[in-house]
Amino acid sequence: MDASDEYDLVSRQISKIVTQNTVLDVKEQTLSKRWAVPIKLAQDTIKSTTQRFIRSSLHPIERRFRTKNTTLKYNHLNCRFYSDTFFSKSTSLLQNTCAQLFVSDFGYLKFCPQKRKSEAVFSLQELIRDVGIPSHLHTDGAKEMTLGDWRKTCQETGIKMTHTESRSPWQNRTEVEIRELKRHVRRLMSRTQKPHKLWDFCCTYTTELRNRLARPLPQLHGRTPYEIISGNTPDISEFLEYEWYQPVWYYEPSTFPEQEKHLARWIGIAHRVGQAMCYWLLPKSGIPIARTTIQAISEMELSQDNIKEQLKDYDEVIRQKLSTENDLSSYIQLYREDCENDLIDDKELPESKEVDSIEPDMYDELLMTQPMLIRDGRMERATIIGRKRDNDGNLIGEYDINPLSNTRVYLAEFQDGLIAEYSANTVVEAIYNDVSDDGYNEAFLVDVIGHERTNEAITNMEADQNTRHTTKGWNICLSWDDGSTSWHTLSDVKNSYTTQLAEYALMNNLQNEPAFKWWVKPTIRRKKRILKATKTRYANEHTSLGSKSLKR
């Protein structure tokens, strides 16, 4: 008997003793008299309020009432939350090995690092304290999220519990957000060789950042998840001045003649320490500290040889103290419990399994395609994640080489985690409409959002010895109009989006790198010349037209 079956059995055993919420039978006339308000106002108040905690006694009082009242202590959220656990190959600086991620149905994230999976109930309690009590919580069938203290906490707070079907991870929206969180963390940590032991700090910073992004989700209506969950417009002052792992100075009072200014790296916001604008820093000791008085190192200071030497010495000390064998890889390795090979954009495909051990529908050519499907009257990108099954677990429909006779039904997962059913005819038609005459998918670039440097990239010293221009050793992350992101080599992006990439290189101070130095500045100069010529031609045409009209 697996965890999900045990959960169903326990639910059936206690179903006989579940009672409805107690409501006091108080008439509006009584409330009108007690509160000294009109009867109509008391009647409307009863309709517009709740009675979550009623305490009454029919017999004489013989003992004290219970003082524990969780339902009235915290906010109640009228939304559904999803939750799942994911793990890291590297033990963090705070000895965390995994994390519990909570996701609302409109994209709000709550990240709770854990030392072990059994601490999931503490993460749930942290969600209740910091955010509120969700009306519905959907998880997988793991015992830590269906039984024991987790279940007791849900019963005390009135949270409705549901779980996914066995071997159906796509029914949990958290899987989608974990994937996007991993990609975002990788973009931040791949800019330089940061210690992988800081993965929990980076994940915390990334979730706080994503909660304040006005992502293109229909449920947000152009607002942010933070505003939807709290009702307040978020203030991003704490996120504007620094970027993750940026070198900074921090002030430390000391006696003369010792230096009061020390070097550190910025690793996040310390919400539970001090007051506003307090940040987590990683000093040379390798032990995170929280400080308010900090200052970013200017570009002029970074160009000085003594500051470069201090940074080099700092990075070497941190590397010796925090490096692990997993740091040899070029990216942080995070994965779900049920799939340790579910790493971020794996460079190599897993070894092929024997044909007999793979289900027949895994060879379906429509699986994992990403067509544009109609949803609520608009076109949205979705991923075909599987085929629909009936109540007995059998696949619905039969395959036919003629699409009109193909009766299979597929499950499509949209970017916000919604799972919908579509017939094979609809999926095939959407795929054909989504490709050009040559059979390629068409998507429009939104922006260049990330970069990473590999070990194959040449240094400035090697570039001085070799006069040959190269773009080897760099990867660029692009964002597309359908909401997806993808990584490409620098040469491919340069050939297709030269101007956008040159502007991104200037904004991120990459123009002096050997792979960018020989083409970025000429590209920007060429762009300025074209814009100037266009403006001049436009002004001349309108001036000549104006002169002709005056002569007439």
DSSP state of 327: G
Rounded CA-CA distance 482/434 in Å is 12
Q: Work out the number of other CB atoms within 10 angstroms of the CB of residue 26.
A: 12
* Alpha-carbon distance values, 502 to 155, 157, 160, 259, 534 (Å): 56, 54, 52, 40, 20
Which secondary structure element, helix H or strand E, spans residue 83, and what is its range? strand 76-88
Q: What are the tens digits of pLDDT across the range 346-402?
A: 333 343 343 334 344 445 778 878 888 888 777 787 888 888 888 777 888 888 777
What 3-state class would DSSP assign to 485? strand
The size of the chain, in residues, is 552
8 A C-beta contact, residue 63 and residue 74: no
Phi-psi region of 341 (alpha: psi -120 to 50; beta: other; left: phi over 0): alpha
* First-to-last C-alpha distance (Å) of the chain: 93
Angle of helix 28-35 relative to helix 39-47, nearest 10 degrees?
Answer: 110
Torsion over CA: 205, 206, 211, 214 (sign): positive
Q: Is 412 helix (H, G, I), strand (E, B) or coil?
A: strand
Structure confidence at residue 446 (pLDDT): 79
For residues 386 and 362, give the distance between their C-alpha atoms in angstroms, rounded to a whole number: 8
- 3-state SS of 201-270 is HHHHHHHHHHCCCCCCCCCCCCCCHHHHHHCCCCCCHHHHCCCCCEEEEEECCCCCCCCCEEEEEEEEEC
Peptide bond into 195 cis (omega under 30): no
Burial letters 109-130, b for 16+ CB under 10 A, else e:
bbbbbbeebebbbbbbbebbee
Radius of gyration of the chain (CA): 29
Gap between the Cα atoms of 318 and 281, Å rounded: 13
- pTM for this structure? 0.64
**Residue 8 pLDDT:** 53
Token pair 């005390």 in the structure block, residue: 156
Closest CA to 517 of 507, 526, 506, 525: 506
Cα separation of 547 and 90, whole Å? 73
Nearest in space to 383 (alpha carbons), one of 413, 356, 359: 413
Q: How far is CA 550 from the centre of its chain?
A: 61
Q: What is the pLDDT of residue 228?
A: 92
Distance, in Å, from the CA atom of 79 to the CA atom of 231, rounded to the nearest integer, reads 13
What kind of fold does domain 72-230 have according to CATH? Nucleotidyltransferase; domain 5 (3.30.420)
Q: Is the dihedral of CA 532, 533, 534, 536 positive or negative?
A: positive
Q: Residues near 69 by Cβ (< 8 Å), separated by ≥ 6?
A: 53
pLDDT tens-digit profile, the chain (552 residues): 555 555 455 444 443 334 445 556 677 888 888 888 888 888 888 888 877 666 666 677 777 777 766 767 788 898 999 999 999 988 999 999 999 999 998 999 999 999 999 999 999 999 999 999 999 999 998 899 999 999 999 988 889 999 988 878 878 888 888 988 988 898 888 876 678 899 999 999 999 999 999 887 788 888 999 999 998 999 999 999 999 999 999 988 776 666 688 999 999 999 988 888 999 999 999 999 999 999 999 888 988 999 999 999 999 999 888 876 555 444 455 555 545 444 444 333 343 343 334 344 445 778 878 888 888 777 787 888 888 888 777 888 888 777 777 888 989 888 777 888 898 888 888 887 776 666 566 667 778 888 888 888 888 777 776 667 888 889 998 887 766 778 889 988 988 888 889 989 988 888 888 889 889 888 888 888 887 777 777 676 665 545 444 343
Tokens of 463: 């570039």
For residue 440 the two structure tokens come to 């390629």
- Helix or strand holding residue 79 (H, E): strand 76-88
* Predicted local confidence at residue 454, as pLDDT: 85
Q: What is the C-alpha separation between 418 and 420, in angstroms, rounded?
A: 6
Lookup: tokens for 208: 């706080």
